[in-house]
Amino acid sequence: MRFAVAALILFCIASSGAAELKLIKVNPLKLGEKLIFTVSALGAYLGDQIISIDKTVDYQGQKAVQGGGSIKSSEFVAAVYSLNDREITYFLPGNMSPLYNEKWIKEGDWIDRMYFYFLPGKVEYKHDKGGGAIKTLPYEGDVIRNFYTLIQVVRLVDYDYYIQNKLNIEILYLFGETVTKTVFKPQYKTINFKGKQKGVIYLEEVGGMNFQVTLLNSPERIPLILKVPSYSANSQSINFDVELKSYVPGLKPMVE
């Protein structure tokens, strides 16, 4: 899903690991859930992005969950630059740590497939294009997440603990092919979302490029809005707005 990476990439490379997160005791995420977002920039609709929690799988003897992601350009954008990317992630349901991520990339004339293996202290990955040589990215810390599990794990954080103790949240993750650390300051607030007042959990990046996440303050912790600055080809800062379009709740508990 390289379009999402290109559109949402951050340039705050981690110099050290992040402390493991304090999570809520009851995991509300369920198999079958689907989140559909619109992605826009400078007021122009670029396409839809889908994030789903699909099924349980056995991965190298471990009980894991398969999550999916895809993004497809709108007809207007496709007339200039066509893209249709998708990916899967296998992750442990307890702390949302990824085990394996596979991406199918179709952007213009570029067609590729990427494989990421998340191992203690390192991530190994390769491309079909370019001979399939394995590259290694080392990291420091207990857990590194990919973008899929980053978006899911922020739904499980114990925000009462962090807000009451005035603590920031640090998450180490792999964005594209770069080890990145983001530090969020959380707060509770009320916003107007599609004409209705909503109580939300608002995360704003400290330092970095002001990455923002807004979650509905409900048991499901549904992501409503992501605002992720990036740089365009001419090095101008651009805000990419990712907004919830529709939500299909899951039916079966992800964690039995």
pLDDT number for residue 73: 78
pLDDT number for residue 18: 61
**Rounded Cα gap, residues 63 and 56, in angstroms:** 7
Which candidate, 173, 178, 103, 124, places its Cα nearest to that of 145? Answer: 173
pLDDT digits (tens, 9 = 90+) for 114-145: 999 999 999 999 999 877 799 999 999 889 99
Confidence of residue 51 (pLDDT cuts 50, 70, 90): very high
Residue 147, H or E segment:
helix 147-153
pLDDT number for residue 106: 85
**Rounded Cα gap, residues 123 and 174, in angstroms:** 9
pLDDT digits (tens, 9 = 90+) for 22-47: 999 989 999 999 999 998 877 788 88
pLDDT number for residue 210: 80
What residues does 84 pair with on adjacent strands? 72
Tell me the C-alpha to C-alpha distance, in Å, between residue 118 and each of 95, 115, 123, 208.
14, 10, 5, 25
pLDDT number for residue 85: 87
Tell me the C-alpha to C-alpha distance, in Å, between residue 21 and each of 80, 155, 169.
42, 12, 7
pLDDT number for residue 139: 94
User: Residue 94 corresponds to which amino acid?
Assistant: G
pLDDT digits (tens, 9 = 90+) for 68-82: 999 887 777 766 667
pLDDT digits (tens, 9 = 90+) for 165-188: 999 999 998 877 889 889 999 999
Q: What are phi and psi of 4, to 5 degrees?
A: -60, -40
**Rounded Cα gap, residues 110 and 128, in angstroms:** 12
pTM to 2 decimal places? 0.86
Higher pLDDT, 254 or 64: 64
**Rounded Cα gap, residues 243 and 227, in angstroms:** 9
Residue 2, H or E segment:
helix 2-8
Q: Which domains does the chain have, with CATH numbers?
A: 2-250 (2.40.360)
Give the residue-averaged pLDDT of 75-93.
82
In this structure, how many other beta carbons lie within 10 angstroms of the beta carbon of residue 238? 13
4-8, 39-43, 83-87, 211-215: range with highest mean pLDDT = 211-215
Query: Quick check: 50 and 71 in contact, CB under 8 A?
Result: yes
User: Residue 4 corresponds to which amino acid?
Assistant: A
Per-chain mean pLDDT for the chain? 86
pLDDT digits (tens, 9 = 90+) for 194-252: 999 999 999 999 987 788 999 999 999 999 999 876 644 444 456 788 999 999 999 99
Q: Which long-range contacts (CB under 8 A, 24 or more apart) does 184-189 make?
A: 184/154, 184/211, 184/213, 186/157, 186/159, 186/162, 187/163, 188/159, 188/163, 188/217
3-state SS, residue 164: helix
Residue 77, H or E segment:
helix 75-78
3-state SS, residue 215: strand
